[in-house]
Amino acid sequence: MSTKDLDQSAAELGMGGKLAPEPDDAGYRKRMERRQQVQKQRVEERNKEKGLILVFTGQGKGKTTAGLGLVLRMLGHGERVAIVQFIKGGWEPGEARALKAFGDQVRWHALGEGFTWETQDRERDQQLVETAWKTALEYLRDEAVKLVLLDELNVALKLGYIDADTGITGLRERPALTHVAVTGRGAPAALVDAAGLVTEMTLIHHPFREQGVKAQMGIEF
């Protein structure tokens, strides 16, 4: 059975659970056994290992949170991680404090000074982005670093501080098994095309817009 056929079979067999269509346990068990067999084949056929470009974008909240989740996961496996924040800076979020517990295993660089309406200085912003990009490239080229998180790089690309082609070329300079996660709204189409995983966060509700709730400790920072 081809990979495409296996994927189709898995979709058709579906999930289990209380709302499954079988009226009896025997029928349910038979379908789940078949689903288990198909899933095992799917996993066995997909045995490649490679460094990935992972993009978290969209208008919804959770992009940086997703990237930091990967950071924590990688640290839990004893690997080294680097975090370079574009645009953001000037404050220490809770995650930065928590990750200090990992010592030299993680490097955190907050190299921005805030959003454009806060800085109000395009030349200064350009200089800061260039410094952050230089720092990012150093980590991307370091074989000892297993994951590099480039927080808000999408925004730097969107605002024109880094050319998209330059950014993608830099991301591809990493070793074969190094992963890089890129966050921020407005990921350029070229980056989306180059990525191995892309997740778009969809805004449905937000307490700041709808309820007048301020940024709160442990939720936004």
**Is 162 in the same domain as 188?**
yes
Helix%, strand%, coil% for the chain, nearest 5: 50, 15, 35
Q: Does 218 fall in a domain? A: no
Residue showing tokens 């996660």: 181
Residue 33, domain extent: 3-45
> Which pLDDT tens digit goes with each residue over 78-93?
999 999 999 988 778 9
> Which pLDDT tens digit goes with each residue over 12-71?
999 999 999 999 999 999 999 999 999 999 999 999 999 999 999 999 999 999 999 999
**Is 156 in the same domain as 206?**
yes
User: Model-level pTM greater than 0.75?
Assistant: yes
Q: Does 69 fall in a domain? A: yes
**Is 8 in the same domain as 108?**
no
